[in-house]
Amino acid sequence: MIDGSHRLNLAFLPTPMHELQNLSRRLGGPRLFIKRDDLTGMAFGGNKERKLEFILADALSAGAEVVITSGSIQTNHGRLTAAAARRVGMHPVLVLAGERPAELQGNLLLNDMAGADIHFVPRGRGDTEDARMDNENEITDRKVAELVAHYESQGRRVFVVPKAGATLSGVYSYVLAAQEAAYQATQARLSFHSVVVAAGGGGTLAGLHIGMNLYAPGTDVIGVSVGRGAARLEERVRDYAKGLLPDLGYGEFPIKAPIVEDGYVGEGYPIPSPASVEAARILAETEGIYVDLVYTGKAVAGLIGMIRQRRWKPEDNVLFWHTGGLPALFMQGAYLKH
């Protein structure tokens, strides 16, 4: 049972919401706004901080001393998990898919500074991005299981945080975030046609999708995939909804089908695309706001692409949800050369 009172106080909430007048003017509309979950406060911020308020509350209740999670080599989730674990007195352990670089940069540098134990495993393989990511999850899950056994053999209590914080309590944190945004919109006398957000594991998208159906039912939530195909992400959102809605007191809640755009993935999750590079530059040039090139940058590319396709009318209000990920940008300079 999800308990909204069972959480830690890690993030600076509510995060700001403000208008992007320069970006809107450059693109010729619609009226654009941004929700700044890159400003949640801890370890350069990001969407995972909301989720960890609930997940690490469970870890503390279980008496955990060691927290283990996994992800890509520049995982934002891993960076925030390591920082949050240290903040509440637990030891962080990360299993990362990729080869150890000669020099630690970006999120890896921050993880090292937090004193996390970092274990590197091979990246996944597959004919499609979905297959590759599934294979990578199998590899990291095996290593996580091995490490759990290792720490438990030392008599230490271990708590495993799923990759990307993919838990129902993590999804619930973004139901509450949708409520927060809906309240801010009401206070500003705004109504949004759409919310656009990056979609990786699908938990943030699912929470916003459920929450907007509850608190702003006229607003569509559009997930821009950074890796997986639309069908897999849509399935995940439906599964999260089925698991969470009964805890929220709903049975057959008439929730709309999720909207996923998967045309901005490029060559795969950890690889910047020409569209994400262009989008990151446009946002920085117009608003002085920065995004990485493989996660939030691809969502900005989706936003810009949909505007260019005339997805919205000039008078529509559209909210872009900045999910963070900035530290990875500092190792992506080669992609930004003119």
* Cα atoms in the Cβ-side hemisphere of radius 13 Å centred on 259: 14
**Residue 71 has what DSSP assignment?**
E
Tell me which architecture the domain covering 48-165 has in CATH: 3-Layer(aba) Sandwich (3.40)
Per-residue pLDDT at 307 exceeds 80 = yes
- Smallest CA-to-CA distance from 285 within 231, 338, 232 is with 338
Mean pLDDT of 177-199: 97
Q: Class of 17-47+166-336 per CATH? A: alpha beta
**Can you give the pTM of this predicted structure?**
0.94
Please report, for the chain, how many H helices and E strands are present, in that order: 10, 10
- In the chain, % of residues over pLDDT 90: 82
Q: Which residues contact 72 (CB under 8 A, 6 or more apart)?
A: 96, 97, 98, 269, 270
Q: What is the pLDDT of residues 241-275, one digit of tens each?
A: 889 988 888 876 666 778 999 999 999 888 899 99
Mean pLDDT of 316-324: 98
Q: What is the pLDDT of residues 23-34, one digit of tens each?
A: 999 999 899 999
Which band of pLDDT confidence, cut at 50, 70 and 90, is reported for residue 140? very high
Per-residue pLDDT at 1 exceeds 70 = no
pLDDT at 45: 96
Indicate the range of 88-97, 161-170, 249-258, 273-282 predicted with least confidence: 249-258
- In the chain, % of residues over pLDDT 70: 97
Region(s) of the chain under CATH 3.40.50.1100: 17-47+166-336, 48-165
- Smallest CA-to-CA distance from 68 within 99, 6, 102, 111 is with 111
Produce one character per residue of 233-268: b if its CB has 16 or more CB atoms within 10 Å, e if not.
bbebbbebbeebbeeeeeeeeebeebbbbbebbbeb
> In Å, how far from its chain's centre is CA 183?
22
